[in-house]
Amino acid sequence: MRGLRVLRAEWTKFRTVRGWVLGAFGATLASVLFLLVGTASTNQSSNRHTQDAVALPVGPGGEAVNDSFFFLHEALTGDGSITVSVTALTGVLAREPGRTSPGTTPWAKTGILVKQSLDQGSQYAAMMVTGAHGVRMQDNFTHDRAGLPGRPSATSPHWLRLVRAGSTVTGYDSADGAHWTERGSTRLAGLPATVQVGLFTASPAAVQTSGSRGGTSPAVATGTFGQVALGGSWARGSRPDRWRGVQVGGDAGTSGSYAENTSGAYARTRSGFSVTGAGDIAPVVGGPSLGPAYTIENFLVGTFAALIVLTVVAVQFVTAEYRRGLIGTTLAAAPGRGRLLAAKAAVVVTVAFTVGVVAAAISIPLGRQRAHATHFLVFTVPRAVELRAVLGTGLLLAATAACSLALGAVLRRSATAITVVVVTTVLPYLLAVSGVLPASVAQWLLRLTPAAGFAVQQTLPRYAHVLTVYTPSSGYFPLSPWGGYAVLGGWTVLALVAATLLLRRRDV
Amino acid sequence: MRRMSATCLRRAVHAEWTKLRTDTGHAWLLLGLVAVTASVGGAVAATARCPASGCGQDPVRLTLTGVSLGQTIAAIVAVLVVGHEYGTGLIHTTLAAVPRRTTVLAAKAAVVSGTVFAAGTVAVLASVLAGRGLLPGNGFTPAHGYAALSLTDGPTLRAVSGSVIYLVLVALLALGIAAAVRDAAVAMGVVLGLLYLFPLLSHVITDPDLRRHLAQVGPMPAGLAVQTTTDLRHLPIGPWAGLGVLALWAAGTLLIGGTVLRFRDA
């Protein structure tokens, strides 16, 4: 009961100081304005790709995907199977313009594929031979299982098999074509009776990790197959030589590109087929291959402006009491000092959380609309991830506001308290993402300082089976979203405890 | 008449110096400026790695990373010199003693510049010493194309002296803002926003031209261009020109602060 009265008194104080209320609204406004400035530019390098498609293909789980590869395919109706041997995976890398050298990227892939349709982002299951990770079974972009290790050769080919039964697809591999190992089985919900099945090849571009942001260069791969064995009911009978070849997606997508004078193709060889392609069948990740595209966290850049304004307000919420001598009256009315701090914290946390959520909820749709108008791609993420970023922004501002309040009570000097908060949250982030510091230093900064909390806004996903530069300068925090937030939370609790102890021990 | 105002300014500077000298808080802040700048510089130098030649790092800039933190303490010093007087009501006494308000601001600017210059010099030199001791052990060796840090090297001397001037200019920028808004907390918020929001914005902007322009006009990115010693061709703005941009910002805020101070009731 007494606690509620203290809370009400603190809320009245906050509500009746015009500057603070203006500050809360100003923080929201500053956040949105900041976004508008940040997204002011139009896409200068807008090529055909970005002009036409202002959204990336979306996979079955709602994530942005690349679904671009060369596919030699045929329609299969009902249950059936496909079996083939892969005798080689070769490729061409174009590290410098006009000069190519033989080689494959680690996740260049060739093999067999069962796909719902030729539309990008439709469901699939595949068995494949990769450049550096052996045989893999992958399905619906985000799932990856290991199979036989090593690379195939003419003398020791890798045998791959996919069996479709209803909506279930099962993958097998074999080193000799006689003894088979099941690598996994996946249910593709709602798979139609007629699916597209065949041989495919894809190769993501080569990623250079040197430099702060890295870069990519074109890479093309060629898979060499033996004879194809089929089971089931096929549209043109079991005659693979009459299958059709197509570049799914029309081009190599955002993460791949064809080297000069190369294109997707297939050919009959003496013993089977060869299929050449570039692109990737994988979720989109950040880093050099994403190119000029906006992410949800880009739209949340205004958080920094809001953070600085809210820090000023939260610090003043306690230091103003000291300056005006009001603290004497406050403590006379409510002698419980811990309760007083808790009440003040409850007020600033509520205000900051509201500002964060409202600003984020406005910024994301607004940013998406701005990106659409200026012909930029937007990195699509599942709704749940977007919701986490919105709530996370509110929680992030709430924690920094509580931290500011606590430091204001500890230091009692507003300028110093504000600086400590901003310098420990914004500056480490800025130094880490700007690429000035080496990646290892940047990652430690984002593990130890309160800036780790910004991880809660990261929507870029990380996949073991997609290669990119997973560093802070390309948008990747070293900790998980909630792990990073826990670091910020830990600092906040520490500051609040210190403030409570000092407030109890000190004279007014 | 001119003689009078010169005497007046000298006395005002002396008064400001006494106020600053006798407030122990300022001594701690200046000590903090040295400690924070040097320790961050040392920590970065200790953790940076150059595994092979052509690792693309700028050892001088890495060593001087602490300046981006130390600048905030320089700003606090400047903000408190004004904000604290308004907070305590001392400003009335100050203005009664020295009625010419521009003289008060000029005196404050002189004292702040002097102390920040002194502390900044110690801080930057300590950083360079730390870098000189630590970097060769981490692969920044002549074999990888990096000579030991030395003030006799032209670009290094430019980065070092430029960093000290940078700290002084940031303090003056903060002083102007504090004089304009009077409240220490709000002034600090504005200063931090001005410093950090430009580089944050240019991280989001995808248009390379706009990003370049932001780096040319933002007080922090433009001013810190002076720390660069390698790949000068790729800088959005030249080292001294960048520092000039920061000087314009400082002059601008001092002008606003001076004008507001002159025409506003205390």
Q: Per the structure block, which two tokens stand in for B152? A: 């006799």
CA distance A410 to B200: 29
A415 → closest Cβ in B83, B205, B208:
B83
Query: What single DSSP character describes residue A235?
Result: B
CA distance A32 to A306: 9
Structural domain includes residue A261: yes
- Show residues of chain B in contact with A434, CB under 8 Å: 199, 203
Residue with tokens 């050298």: A101
The CA–CA distances, whole Å, from B194 to A304, B72, B136, B190, B246 equal 12, 11, 36, 6, 11
Say yes or no: A244 and A300 in one domain: no
Please name which of A108, A93, A100, A106 lies closest in space to residue A219, comparing C-alpha atoms. A93
Give the pLDDT mean for B205-220.
82
Say yes or no: A245 and A111 in one domain: yes
Structural domain includes residue A160: yes
**Cβ-contact A77, A233 below 8 angstroms:** yes
Please name which of B256, B180, B193 lies closest in space to residue A33, comparing C-alpha atoms. B193
Taking the CA of residue A454 and the nearest CA in chain B, the distance in Å comes to 13
Q: Would you state the pLDDT for residue A282?
A: 92
Chain B touched by A37 (CB under 8 Å): yes
pLDDT over 70, % of chain A:
95
Q: Would you state the pLDDT for residue B13?
A: 79
A304 → closest Cβ in B47, B75, B197:
B197
Q: Among B57, B58, B203, which would you mutate to test the A interface (most chain A Cβ atoms within 10 Å of its Cβ)?
A: B203
Say yes or no: A28 and A99 in one domain: no
Say yes or no: A195 and A163 in one domain: yes
Q: Would you state the pLDDT for residue A96?
A: 75
CA distance A335 to A11: 17
Cα A364 to chain center, whole Å? 15
Structural domain includes residue A405: yes
Structural domain includes residue A54: no
**Cβ-contact B130, B42 below 8 angstroms:** yes
Please give the residue of chain B at the shortest CA–CA distance from A45: B207
Chain B touched by A22 (CB under 8 Å): no
Q: Which CATH number is A162's domain given?
A: 2.60.120.200
Say yes or no: A302 and A416 in one domain: yes
Residue A393, amino acid = T
Query: What single DSSP character describes residue A64?
Result: B
Cα A409 to chain center, whole Å? 38
Range of the domain at B12: 2-263
Q: Among A416, A433, A440, which would you mutate to test the B interface (most chain B Cβ atoms within 10 Å of its Cβ)?
A: A416
Say yes or no: A270 and A122 in one domain: yes
Mark out the alpha helices in A334-479 (DSSP H runs): 337-373, 383-411, 414-433, 439-448
Interface subset of A 204-223, CB within 8 angstroms of B: 210-211
This complex has an ipTM of 0.83
Chain B touched by A33 (CB under 8 Å): no
Domain-ending residue, one of A283, A316, A333: A283
The CA–CA distances, whole Å, from A142 to A50, A158, A462, A463 equal 24, 23, 10, 8
Say yes or no: A14 and A105 in one domain: no
Please name which of B125, B121, B130 lies closest in space to residue B148, comparing C-alpha atoms. B130
Of chain B, the end-to-end C-alpha distance in Å amounts to: 26
pLDDT digits (tens, 9 = 90+) for B142-178: 777 677 777 778 888 889 999 999 999 999 999 999 9
Number of structural domains in chain A: 2
**Cβ-contact A316, A404 below 8 angstroms:** no
Q: Would you state the pLDDT for residue A52?
A: 47
Average pLDDT, chain B: 83
With 0.90 as the threshold, say if the pTM is over it: no
Residue B216's contacts (CB-CB under 8 Å, 6 or more residues apart) are B222, B236, B237, B242, B245
**Cβ-contact B188, A312 below 8 angstroms:** yes
A94 burial type by CB count under 10 A (0-12 exposed, 13-18 middle, 19+ buried) = buried
Going by pLDDT thresholds of 50, 70 and 90, the confidence category of residue B54 is low
Is A418 or B84 the better-scoring residue by pLDDT? A418
Widest CA span in chain A: 96
Do A415 and B206 lie within an 8 Å CB cutoff?
Answer: no
Range of the domain at A463: 2-41+293-505
Chain A touched by B171 (CB under 8 Å): no
Q: Would you state the pLDDT for residue A50?
A: 44
CA distance A102 to A191: 39
Pairing of strands A293-294, A377-378: parallel
pLDDT over 70, % of chain B:
92
**Cβ-contact A311, B189 below 8 angstroms:** yes
Q: Per the structure block, which two tokens stand in for B116? A: 């920040």
Give the pLDDT mean for B72-88.
83
The least confident of A6-15, A400-409, B117-126, B250-259 is A6-15
**Other CB atoms within 10 A of residue B117 CB:** 16
Please give the residue of chain B at the shortest CA–CA distance from A314: B185
Please give the residue of chain B at the shortest CA–CA distance from A43: B207
Say yes or no: A236 and A372 in one domain: no
Q: Per the structure block, which two tokens stand in for A46? A: 């807008």
**Cβ-contact A495, A314 below 8 angstroms:** no
- Show residues of chain A in contact with B82, CB under 8 Å: none
Please name which of A329, A505, A346 lies closest in space to residue A410, comparing C-alpha atoms. A505
Say yes or no: A256 and A355 in one domain: no
CA distance A146 to A168: 19
- Show residues of chain A in contact with B80, CB under 8 Å: 413, 415
pLDDT digits (tens, 9 = 90+) for A324-358: 777 878 877 777 788 888 889 999 999 999 999 99
- Show residues of chain B in contact with A40, CB under 8 Å: 205, 210
Interface subset of B 23-82, CB within 8 angstroms of A: 25, 29, 44, 47-49, 56-57, 61-62, 65, 68-69, 72-73, 75-76, 79-80
Please name which of A60, A43, A142 lies closest in space to residue A377, comparing C-alpha atoms. A43
Residue with tokens 């299929």: A275
Interface subset of A 349-388, CB within 8 angstroms of B: 376
Q: State the DSSP H helix or E strand holding residue A23, giving kind and residue range, or none if neither.
A: helix A18-38
Say yes or no: A24 and A74 in one domain: no
**Cβ-contact A313, A23 below 8 angstroms:** yes
Q: Per the structure block, which two tokens stand in for B198? A: 């430009």
Query: What single DSSP character describes residue A437?
Result: S
Number of structural domains in chain B: 1
Q: Among A407, A441, A458, which would you mutate to test the B interface (most chain B Cβ atoms within 10 Å of its Cβ)?
A: A441
Question: For chain A, which residues score pLDDT lower than 70?
Answer: 1, 42-54, 209-214, 291, 508
